[in-house]
Structure 1
Amino acid sequence: MTINLICDLDGVVYRGSTPIAGSREALETAASAGVNLLFCTNNSSRTREQVAAKVGDVVGFAATAEQIVGSAEAAALLLVSSKPTTFVLGGEGVVAELERVDIEVVTENAEAVVVGLDVDLTYHRLRTAAELVAQGARFVATNNDTTYPAEHGLWPGAGSILAAVEAASGRKAEVAGKPYPPMRDLLRTKLLPGPVWVIGDRPDTDLALAAAEPDWQSVLVLTGVVSDPARALPQPDIVADDLAQALQSILA
């Protein structure tokens, strides 16, 4: 039996371009122990290859693109059966995942709209997305995280942009990322027989992801958004100061 480790990135492995102390050593320990290590992120702004490269550049751990499981990939899988022309209010990661499954990305007259983290957001593109959704385009969000942990605090996340589109269009999106079913379905395709642990810093995404699956367990690390773990809902199976302590508990 192999231990499956679903590890968040922002707030767990790094914050922005700053590594969290001990994360490289912890990941190397997991790899040496034969863990099936997956990096699961709701941040859809980068491609899988770019995320793997960031883990290497920031932390010094040689991650592969195959280890990256992102909300952009989950969103693309929601649309792959119908392959609608799609307008993207999001980053390069969303476009790459749509094109990977032969979904055409367009700038107008789209049959679907995908909203993700867009660091180059403009009012014109926000308006276009809202108009298309109001006119009946299928409406998908990579995730609804209102913030994400960066080097200097919490920055607006995809959920903040999504809220604007939902308010302007009067419609609610299908959400693909953690903790929703599309992401769980995607993760299950990458698991090996054995226990499943989710390590993250957000109760509403990481802990909820594990809580939705009867056989998955969770570890809350205190290097991200939570300062009082007693108030976290859902409650984790383990609370750890950081990734290194989380791995010690799992591998003990």
Structure 2
Amino acid sequence: MEPKLVLLDLDGTLHERGKAVPGAAGAVVKLRRAGHTVRVFTNTDSQAEATLVARIRRSGIPVALGEVFTPVVAAKRILPPDARVLVLADRAVRDDLATHARLAGPAEATHVVIGDCRQSLSYQGLDAAFRAVRAGAELLAFQHGPYFRAADGDHLDTGAIVAAIEFAAGKTARILGKPSPDFLRLAARDTPGALWVVGDDRTTDILMANEAGATAVQVRTGKYTDQAQSDDLPQPTHTIDSVADLPALLALG
């Protein structure tokens, strides 16, 4: 069997409502034992890379630094060395980005980066981001998801905040996370093997896989039920009950 590069979505695929999907950790182990390269790619934009890796490992899923790709990782790769960045995100992410770019106010910002800001969102922050973008700063969004699922229910996601700035400033954000093809290239860089993308969301995971010519696998966890009746959304190559069934699917092809 030819080794594959398998990109696994996190929330809704490996995790659901804050807990590991049953069989997820075992599936990752089986895939690696079969010779496949496994990486996690996620639109999680509320945590620094090392913190997220530690959280995933605590759930029993074996991953290491460099194997988890987030929009925060993408931002650190694409921001130029002389960037002056206004960051609309919570402190952990601001501190992480501050190690790679100089933080700035609206009058001098060359880039505005918007991420998860549940703990720090204010009208003043929104107004500062709006002013900087209208003055010419490039608008970068970690992701454009309208909502996310947590243990206590569904919540507004980063895309709702980005949409407010886009509407007010009359500008369109550059998306750093899924379904950006640049994000997929980052996660798959320098790794041989046919590419398989596994996720629960047809508007991001499956869309990105199809546009890249990858094998798209949708799991019947996470957002699957919300999208099951939407015939106009991108269609996967395969559909399985959960990520626990992935090793058996790859063994067939």
TM superposition score normalised by structure 1: 0.90
Distance change >3 Å, CA 60–CA 232, structure 1 → 2: farther
- Paired with 1:32 and 1:73, the residues of 2 have a C-alpha distance of 27
Contact 2:82 2:101 survives alignment (8 Å): yes
Deviations 1:78-121 (A, max 9, x none): 322x6320011123564355345x31122443121011121212
TM-score normalised over the length of structure 2: 0.89
Equivalent runs, 1:136-147 vs 2, <5 Å: 136-147=136-147
Alignment partner of 1:54 is 2:55:
yes
Displacement of 1:39:
0.5
User: What's the C-alpha RMSD, in Å, of the aligned pairs?
Assistant: 2.0
| Secondary structure in 2 matching 1:212 | helix
Q: Percent identity?
A: 27
Instruction: Kindly indicate whether the alpha-carbon contact (under 8 Å) linking 2:28 and 2:62 is maintained by their aligned counterparts in 1.
Output: no
In the alignment, which residue of structure 1 is the partner of 2:219?
Answer: 221
Amino acid at match of 2:94: V
Deviations 1:171-206 (A, max 9, x none): 1111111111321231232x5221111000111110
Check the 8 A contact 2:106/2:131 in 1, yes or no. no
2:7 match: secondary structure: strand
Alignment of 1:6-17 (within 5 A): 6-17=7-18
Distance in 1 separating the partners of 2:27 and 2:95: 30
Counterpart amino acid of residue 217 in structure 1: T
Would you say the 8 A contact 1:147–1:154 is kept in 2?
A: yes
Structure 2 residue aligned with 1:246: 246
Cα–Cα, structure 1 residues 96 and 53, in superposed 2: closer, same or farther, change >3 Å?
A: same
Q: How many residues are paired up?
A: 247
| Kept after mapping to 2: 8 A contact 1:203/1:232 | no
Hey, what's the Cα distance between the residues in 1 that align with 2:217 and 2:105? 41
Q: In structure 2, give the amino acid aligned to 1:206.
A: D
Matches within 5 A, 1:1-252: 1-57=2-58, 59-80=59-80, 83-92=82-91, 94-95=93-94, 98-100=97-99, 102-109=100-107, 110-120=109-119, 121-189=121-189, 191-214=190-213, 216-227=214-225, 228=228, 231=231, 233-252=233-252
Unmatched 5+ residue regions in structure 2? none
* 3-state SS of 2:171 partner: coil
In 2: Cα distance, 1:107 partner to 1:158 partner: 20
Q: In structure 2, the residue corresponding to 1:236 is in which secondary structure?
A: coil
Alpha carbons of structure 1 residues 96 and 40: separation in structure 2 relative to 1, 3 Å: farther
Distance 1:186 1:93, change over 3 A: farther
Determine the C-alpha separation between the residues in 2 that align with 1:18 and 1:67: 20
Q: Which residue identity does 1:39 align to in structure 2? A: V
Distance (whole Å) between structure 1 residues aligned to residue 91 and residue 27 of structure 2: 29
Aligned pair in 2 of structure 1 residues 34, 83: CA closer, same or farther (>3 Å)? farther
Could you tell me which runs of 5 or more consecutive residues in structure 1 were left unpaired when the two chains were aligned.
none
Q: Secondary structure at the match of 2:103?
A: coil
Q: Which amino acid aligns with 1:27?
A: V
- Check the 8 A contact 2:114/2:162 in 1, yes or no: yes
Structure 2 Cα separation of the partners of residues 41 and 133 of structure 1: 26
- The CA distance in 2 between the partners of 1:86 and 1:154, in whole Å, is 30
Distance 1:78 1:208 in 2: 23
1:15–1:194 Cα change, 3 Å: same
Cα distance change on mapping 1:229 and 1:23 into 2, 3 Å: farther
The offset of 1:160, in angstroms, is 1.0
For the residue of structure 2 that corresponds to 1:64, the secondary structure is: coil
160-169 or 228-237, which deviates more: 228-237
The answer to which of 180-189 and 32-41 deviates more is 180-189
Shift of 1:76: 3.2
